Every structure is written in structure tokens, then in C-alpha cells.
Amino acid sequence: MVDPTSELEEDVDEESAPSCATCGEPALGTGHRTVTWVDGDDVVHRHFCSEACREDWDDERPSAER
């Protein structure tokens, strides 16, 4: 399996790349951003094709309790 979050990005093409959580385009290349958090027993990832899409994302993460 190809790791789409690999910094090397070897063998990742548009078909195997994750979709951007904001616009739906393939999230790959140097602009690729990933947000990861833990929700109960699950690890949740959202991928973005650019920093602009990351900033436009309607953040669904639960608020951190302090």
C-alpha cells in the first residue's frame, strides 16, 4: 500500500492520493497538508491539497478541554 502522507511521495498518483477535504481534488505534492486527531479510540485524518484549502476547512475537531 502506498502511504499518501509520505514525505517522499513515491508512487503516489492522482488515483491513489487521498481527496482534499475541502475541494475534493487529489491531495498530493508539496502543497499537501494533513490534520490528524484522536476521537475516542479512532485516529481521524483530513487531507488537503493546499494550505488555502486547509484554512478554508470547516474544522470538525472537538474542542480541546483544558
Return the DSSP state at 26: B
Q: What is the tens place of the pLDDT at every residue in 6-51?
A: 554 566 778 888 999 999 999 988 889 999 999 999 999 999 999 9
> At which residue does the C-alpha cell 499518501 appear?
4
Residue 10's pLDDT is 60
Residue 1's pLDDT is 47
Cell of 60: 470538525
pLDDT at 54 over 60: yes
Question: Using alpha carbons only, what angle is made at residue 52 by residues 43 and 14, rounded to the nearest 5 degrees?
Answer: 65
Helices (H), 1-66: 51-56
| Distance between CA atoms of residues 51 and 53, nearest Å | 5
Model pTM?
Answer: 0.75
